[in-house]
């Protein structure tokens, strides 16, 4: 059987509020009140928050619902091509 037709799928961005990302965000939020008395702390707070956001964003293939990484073009689970 020959398959010439390429399957196409979309990468769905999904925010997950659990796991390592939320730990970074939690400490980032904790740093904000400290930054009121110690302004340089705001830098650490922002860094923690941004890192936390990046870690908590996951991508999902809308064809098979498999978890995929941000930069890939082909779904490792169902071999769909992302547009
Ligand atoms: Zn897939």
Q: Where are the domains of the chain?
A: 8-82
Q: How far, in Å, is the centroid of ligand 1 from the Cα of 27?
A: 34
Q: Which residue has the tokens 């964003």?
A: 57
More confident residue, 52 or 79: 79
Identify whether the C-beta of residue 28 lies closer than 8 Å to the C-beta of residue 41: no
CA of 25 to the centre of ligand 1 (A): 29
The CA 78 to ligand 1 mean position distance, Å, reads 4
Cα separation, 62 vs 83, in Å, equals 12
Range name among 42-46, 48-52, 65-69, 73-77 with the lowest pLDDT average: 48-52
For residue 18, give the nearest of 55, 43, 48, 44 by alpha carbon: 55
Residue 17 Cα, ligand 1 centroid: separation in angstroms? Answer: 22
Q: In this predicted structure, what is the pLDDT of residue 53?
A: 80
Does residue 73 carry a pLDDT above 90? yes
Tell me what pLDDT residue 34 has.
92
Residue range 47-61: mean pLDDT, rounded: 85
The pTM is what?
0.56
Ligand 1 midpoint to CA 83 (Å): 12
CA-to-CA distance for 31 and 22, rounded, in angstroms? 14
């Amino acid at each position: 059987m020959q398959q010439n037709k390429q399957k196409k799928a979309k990468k769905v961005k999904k925010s997950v509020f659990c796991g390592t990302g939320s730990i970074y965000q939690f400490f980032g939020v904790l740093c904000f009140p400290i930054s009121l008395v110690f302004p340089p702390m705001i830098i650490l707070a922002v860094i923690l928050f941004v890192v936390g956001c990046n870690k908590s964003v996951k991508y999902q293939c809308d064809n098979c619902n498999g978890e995929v990484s941000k930069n890939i073009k082909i779904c490792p689970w169902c071999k769909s091509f992302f547009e």
